[in-house]
Amino acid sequence: MSLHASYSDTELLDLIRLGDKVAFSEIYSRYWKKVFTVATNKIGQLEEAEEIVQDIFISLWDRRESIIITTSLNAYLAVSVKYRVIKILAKRSQYNKYADYSLNVIPIASNSTEDWLEFEELKSRLELLVSNLPEKCRLVYKMSRENGMSQKQIAAEFCISEKTVEAHIGKALKVLRTGLGQLFL
């Protein structure tokens, strides 16, 4: 039994902010099974549920010095699972939409190599522009556009205001419009 086992979640979080790895291990031991169970029940795939657990605890450790938990740790972790599940389900949904689209539309239109090459060039240019965005701006844009998360969800994920999320998305779209516009000049 760990020395930290008798500590409250709040005390452990205070120790984690100071870099205490034993306190982090105690939090992990207390909550990993609960997080994993919820993720597995929602996602239905063990590998993805394991990834969710890893992502949540890695994020907790990486953000340990700046994280502010206004509810209980249990509630914070529950919300974290919910958002990561939503992200995975949104990604699956986008993949399924693309798969349906490619099966129904691309074979009909695939007789034009030129159209395909233009599409690939546009896609490459977009990926390059997105990769060159400032880090926070890029992450917010990807969560919004690629993962289908709402501004409210992104704000909660980064502990920032919805206005800040909106500003990041606006900045990203402006940069992308300008960069893609040059492609067509």
Structural domains of the chain, ranges and CATH numbers in brackets: 1-111 (1.10.1740.10), 112-185 (1.10.10.10)
Question: Average pLDDT over the chain, rounded to whole?
Answer: 81
Q: Is the pLDDT of residue 110 over 60?
A: no
Percent of the chain with pLDDT over 90: 28
CA dihedral (142, 145, 149, 152) in degrees, to 10, reads 90
pLDDT of residue 33: 93
Using one digit for the tens of pLDDT, what is the confidence trace for 34-58? 999 988 888 888 888 899 899 899 9
pLDDT for 130 = 85
User: What does the pLDDT read at residue 127?
Assistant: 83
Q: What share of the chain is helix, strand, coil (3-state, %, to 5)?
A: 80, 0, 20
What counts of helices (H) and strands (E) characterise the chain? 9, 0
What's the pTM value of the predicted model, to 2 decimals?
0.50
Would you tell me how many other CB atoms lie within 10 Å of the CB of residue 126? 14
